[in-house]
């Protein structure tokens, strides 16, 4: 089996060559008449063949056709965009046909042929088809189309016959809606020109229908003084109101139990599942999501969170985004070194958490600071080592809660590295070790003891049995002598 088509080819036509064999290639469908009908005005007859016929085979004077007791003055083929031609012809008469039964007969026209198909086969001369001219009857509004989804913004009206565009009031006053929401409409522009016909009219709602329920449409006399007129000039009728339903839109608005608290690290979210909500998609803005209706989320850090919820049912969806304030657990905290030299800046790191509005640093020397983290604070030398207690009080004045933490720091009188000239290794806890003093700022410390002739007597090596001979212990940059 071989099928060759050039219907959509551009340019039309093709060349094909076969060698050998005895098969024939042809269109098996012979051309014949199919149907005919008269326009409502009676001065045109529409003819249709059983297949497409070459448009150039239609005689412009209509001599390919004959109708008893009627004079044909012209004929025009229908849509000729296909290279195969058109299957319809519009025949124009000199005057309208009266009501009655008629026969349309195929003739050999003035061009020497009847209608031809692409294979140059004619509709047999003498073939005929009957049709009836009846008294024009008014048409009714056929159907109304509402787009799927919630909150429709338009509806489409369909008609079985053409409607004169000139009879359609652009402001939509030909149409009257009733329903649970007040409705006003306008006609979508560009649907048709004032001199043409249309079988479909789109009505745009001034405000989308957001109230669910049953709506009705009837036709009325518009501001142009008429209702819709069909192609015969007859008013379009609506025997009963056209009804359609609108589904109430979803609302993704949600609530939380986000009550103010100084010990808050979780938030419960609520959605009421309105209008048959069937799915929930929560995005908490921190990489976490949830698909349950009422999730509970634990936040790692306090602050303002942007939370988005998308809800949907089988028809429509909605999205809501809200900001949620998470206070977190209010807890005071900071880091400082245990020892510092007098006059040096204290490196303070604030590790407090929670929703804090006030900071109070009591530095232990009478100074009170209220910044988030004290910068550049120094203890001045007082001639001896000193211990200071630093206290941090964090508070939320709106929630009337606070937390306090204390830490002790040793401030050395000076940080000059010095070695005592003597020590007493008697275990009384006083001067038991020989080591460099105040070496807290030393990055590398090497301590050696020499005798009078320049020999290193400290550090000493371990004994031959692996035991420790009198020597040193290295601890926190301090070198301790013992057993000397």
The pLDDT of residue 415: 83
Burial of 338 (0-12, 13-18, 19+ CB in 10 A): exposed
CATH 1.10.510.10 for domain 264-326, yes or no, is no
Over residues 256-313, the pLDDT tens digits come to 987 667 776 678 999 999 988 999 999 998 888 999 999 998 877 778 889 999 999 8
The pLDDT of residue 11: 57
Which residues lie closer than 8 Å to 411 by C-beta, 6 or more apart?
339, 340, 341, 342, 379, 385, 386, 387, 388
CATH 2.60.40.1220 for domain 33-133, yes or no, is yes
**Which class does domain 141-246 fall in?**
mainly beta
The pLDDT of residue 397: 87
420 close to 434: Cβ distance less than 8 angstroms: yes
The pLDDT of residue 191: 65
Q: Residues in the chain with pLDDT < 70?
A: 1-16, 18-27, 191, 193-195, 259-260, 264-265, 460-484
- Note the pTM of the prediction, 2 decimals: 0.46
* Whether the domain at 141-246 and the domain at 334-412 fall into the same CATH topology: yes
Distances (CA, A) of 280 to 119, 274, 406: 63, 12, 47
At the topology level, CATH places domain 334-412 in Immunoglobulin-like (2.60.40)
Say if strands 472-475 and 303-312 run parallel, antiparallel, or are unpaired. unpaired
In 157-236, alpha helices (H): none
The pLDDT of residue 462: 38
Domain ranges of the chain: 33-133, 141-246, 264-326, 334-412, 416-484
């Amino acid at each position: 089996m071989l099928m060759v088509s050039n219907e959509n080819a551009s340019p039309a036509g093709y060349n094909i060559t076969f060698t050998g064999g005895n098969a024939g290639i042809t269109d098996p469908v012979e051309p014949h008449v199919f149907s005919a009908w008269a326009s409502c005005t009676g001065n045109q007859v529409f003819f249709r063949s059983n297949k497409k016929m070459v448009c150039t085979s239609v005689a412009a004077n209509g001599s390919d056709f004959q109708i008893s007791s009627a004079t044909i003055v012209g004929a025009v083929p229908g849509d000729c965009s296909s290279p195969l031609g058109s299957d319809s012809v519009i025949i124009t008469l000199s005057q309208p046909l009266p009501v009655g039964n008629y026969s349309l007969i195929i003739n050999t026209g003035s061009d020497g042929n009847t209608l031809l198909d692409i294979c140059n086969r004619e509709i047999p001369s003498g073939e005929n088809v009957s049709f009836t001219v009846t008294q024009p009857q008014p048409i009714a509004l056929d159907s109304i189309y509402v787009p799927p989804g919630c909150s429709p913004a338009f509806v489409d009206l369909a008609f079985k016959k053409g409607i004169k565009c000139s009879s359609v009031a652009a402001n939509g006053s030909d149409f009257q809606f009733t329903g649970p929401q007040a409705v006003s409409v306008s006609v979508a522009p560009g649907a048709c020109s004032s001199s043409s016909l249309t079988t479909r009219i789109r009505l745009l709602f001034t405000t989308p229908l957001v109230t669910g329920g049953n709506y009705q449409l009837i036709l009325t006399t518009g501001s142009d003084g008429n209702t819709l007129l069909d192609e015969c000039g007859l008013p379009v009728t609506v025997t009963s109101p056209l009804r359609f339903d609108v589904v109430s839109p979803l609302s993704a608005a949600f609530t939380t139990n986000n009550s103010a608290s100084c010990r808050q690290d979780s938030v419960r979210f609520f959605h009421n599942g309105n209008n048959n909500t069937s799915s929930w998609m929560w995005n908490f803005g921190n990489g976490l999501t949830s698909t349950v209706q009422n999730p509970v989320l634990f936040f790692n850090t306090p602050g303002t969170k942007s939370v988005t919820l998308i809800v949907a049912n089988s028809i429509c969806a909605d999205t809501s985004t809200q900001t949620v304030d998470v206070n977190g657990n209010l807890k005071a905290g900071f880091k400082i070194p245990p020892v510092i030299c007098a006059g040096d800046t204290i490196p303070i790191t604030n590790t407090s958490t929670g929703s804090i509005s006030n900071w109070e640093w009591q530095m232990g020397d009478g100074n009170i600071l209220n910044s988030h983290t004290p910068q550049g604070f120094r203890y001045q030398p007082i001639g001896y080592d000193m211990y200071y207690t630093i206290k941090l009080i964090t508070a939320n004045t709106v929630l009337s809660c606070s937390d306090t933490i204390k830490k002790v720091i040793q401030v050395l009188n000076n940080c000059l590295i010095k070695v005592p000239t003597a020590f007493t290794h008697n275990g009384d806890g006083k001067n038991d070790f020989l080591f460099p003093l105040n070496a807290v700022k030393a990055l590398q410390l090497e301590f050696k003891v020499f005798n009078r002739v320049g020999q290193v007597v400290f550090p000493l090596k371990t004994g031959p049995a692996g035991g420790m001979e009198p020597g040193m212990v290295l601890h926190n940059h301090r070198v301790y002598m013992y057993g000397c």
